[in-house]
Chain A
Amino acid sequence: MSGATARTPAHALDIERIRADFPILNQDINSHPLVFLDNAASSQKPRSVIDAISSYYQRDHANVHRGVHTLSQRATDAYEAARSKLAGFLGATSDKEVVFTRGTTEAINLVAYSFVEPRVGKGDEILITTMEHHSNIVPWQLLCERTGAVLKVAPINDDGEIKLDEMFAMIGPRTKFVSVVHLSNALGTINPVRRIADAAHAAGAFVLVDGAQSAPRMRINVAALGADFFALSGHKTYAPTGIGVLWGKAELFDEMRPYQGGGEMILSVTFEKTVFNEVPAKFEAGTPHIAGAIGFGAAVDYIESIGIDAIEAHEHDLLLYAADRLPEIAGLRIIGCAREKAGVHSFVLDGIHPHDVGTILDNEGVAIRTGHHCAQPVMQRFGIAATVRASFGLYNTRAEVDRLVAGLGKVREIFG
């Protein structure tokens, strides 16, 4: 065991109190206390979020923006209060810049359809990077098929960092849109999105930042990031599944065409002409995931009660501690050694397939992710089929990293 185990980091959160806030953590898996290190896939929910959803359904539920009755008013107030909380969380200047979606994936698809598609034609270019999640690749491929635009992909180096010089050289007069991940789910790399956004803007292109992984673990200020759009998912941010947010500049939202047609997104409908509603309602056709939005608002309250800076520091400590301890395992190689990194360690073990590692760790009560992490081009870049990924949340501890390392020791025992 490393001597560092006993040391308590200076910024220490009251981790026992935090852990008590997450009911799911208090259980045994395969006769061992659960160690949940699959937060990049989806994080667990604090009681306050679960209670907010439950209380909404037990006391306040009705459809939003519809009725004149009390419950409809309460539901509407709670839904719009959640929007305000998200606006504050992201540093948005107005609630109108926050559109609720099903998640990051839908947010990106919305931008592709409503903003980018009308602006591109044959030969125009969309620029992404090698480390994108499939959700920031496939919508652009579909867009290119529909429009004849060309998808360009900026390369990454062996440490898992974007080759910025090459990326900047790829930005030119044909570049209409740049979509880049803030924090890579497969590598843990934090990308210099401000510099990328500035380069894109200088060429007249617009920029989306995929914040699915950064929003739960880094302070986000959309103005400082310099992006035109920012997408995040509730369920990775201690909130429910099925809810996410697209932040966008108000003036861009105003000029965009709707994404889906239906109720809520209209001001008036006749068979001759339909007048669309104002932003953000224009992009929220149909009855929204009201409870999800309320849960997302409660998650923001929870994160802010602890402090996103404290969470970031805590996870950074775990990341460094794990980077220190993981190499104790013979033949372990970390994939992704960027200088700026957060939240995630991807690794491979010589001669042992990640799925076998995953099964053995699960037997020890340790939940990690194995596979390609919906980022197959990253795997191809590193010449591997899959990795093991440990990803941290605000409730994880150094002792849990020790459990991970002990479990990997067991893997070595079995496989030699």
Chain B
Amino acid sequence: MSDLRDLYQEVILDHSKAPRNFGVLKGATHSAEGYNPLCGDRLELYLVLEGDKVTDAGFKGDGCAISTASASLMTEILKGMTRADAEAMFAAMHTVLTGEGEVPEGVDIGKLAVFEGVRAYPMRVKCATLAWHTMRNAIQEKAEEVATTE
């Protein structure tokens, strides 16, 4: 097994202890709920979309370091993205976490590279993907569906 420091990188620990964009986002135009039945992690995601563009993002929830950091970093990175950008980043994140497929052309994963260490811990991949599945439901306006990582 890899060094634990590959999993719990400084950026992840920092975002898990002091999550950014945490709390109910007033004026959200889109929102969705995520739930991981395996571990009980819950997440509420809020987005402000102006036209096709995400102008603000926030979340609330209770989860492990990986899931909290994933949601925190995601809300940072989403701001300024179009729906298509967000979908491309969703696909890129899948590649980061599983090593399967290719990062879509033109996508810069930037800080999300810190999640590459999760790959060595298959039981924890779902912790990192919960926020992203929830985001997808929000932008696809499937707020009535609770996103799961299945």
Contact = CB atoms under 8 A, between A and B. Distances in A.
B40 A415 contact: no
Interface in B1-38: 1, 4-5, 7-8, 13, 17, 38
B62 A356 contact: no
Contact of B39 (A31, A355, A360): A355
A31 B1 CA distance: 9
A355 B124 contact: yes
Contact of B8 (A370, A372, A414): A414
A386 interface: yes
B63 interface: yes
Contacts of A352: 65
Contact of B4 (A351, A354, A360, A371): A360
Contact of A363 (B1, B38, B66): B1
Nearest to B68: A353
B41 A385 contact: yes
Contacts of A354: 64
B40 A385 contact: yes
Contact of B64 (A31, A356, A416): A356
Contacts of A30: 1
Contacts of B124: 355, 359
A416 B65 CA distance: 13
A322 to B, nearest CB: 23
B60 interface: no
A379 interface: yes
Contact of B42 (A356, A363, A370, A385): A385
B128 to A, nearest CB: 12
A356 B1 contact: no
B121 A359 contact: yes
B138 interface: no
B49 interface: no
Name which of A355, A360, A363, A379 has the most chain B CB atoms within 10 A of its CB.
A355
Interface residues of B, number: 22
Contacts of A386: 39-40
Name which of B39, B123, B124 has the most chain A CB atoms within 10 A of its CB.
B39
Contacts of A351: 17
A415 B65 contact: yes
A165 B68 CA distance: 42
B8 A355 contact: no
Contacts of B5: 414
Interface string A352-394: 1111100110010000001110001001000001100000000
B51 to A, nearest CB: 37
A353 B4 contact: no
A318 B121 CA distance: 30
Given A30-B1, A371-B39, A386-B40, A353 B63 contact: yes
21 contacts: A30-B1, A354-B64, A355-B64, A355-B66, A355-B124, A359-B4, A359-B7, A360-B4, A363-B1, A371-B38, A371-B40, A372-B40, A376-B40, A379-B40, A385-B62, A386-B39, A414-B5, A414-B13, A415-B8, A415-B17, A415-B65
Interface of B: 1, 4-5, 7-8, 13, 17, 38-42, 62-66, 68, 121, 123-124, 127
Interface of A: 30-31, 351-356, 359-360, 363, 370-372, 376, 379, 385-386, 414-416
Task: Please give me the 5 A-B residue pairs with the lowest Cβ-Cβ distance, nearest first.
Answer: A353-B64, A355-B64, A30-B1, A385-B40, A356-B65
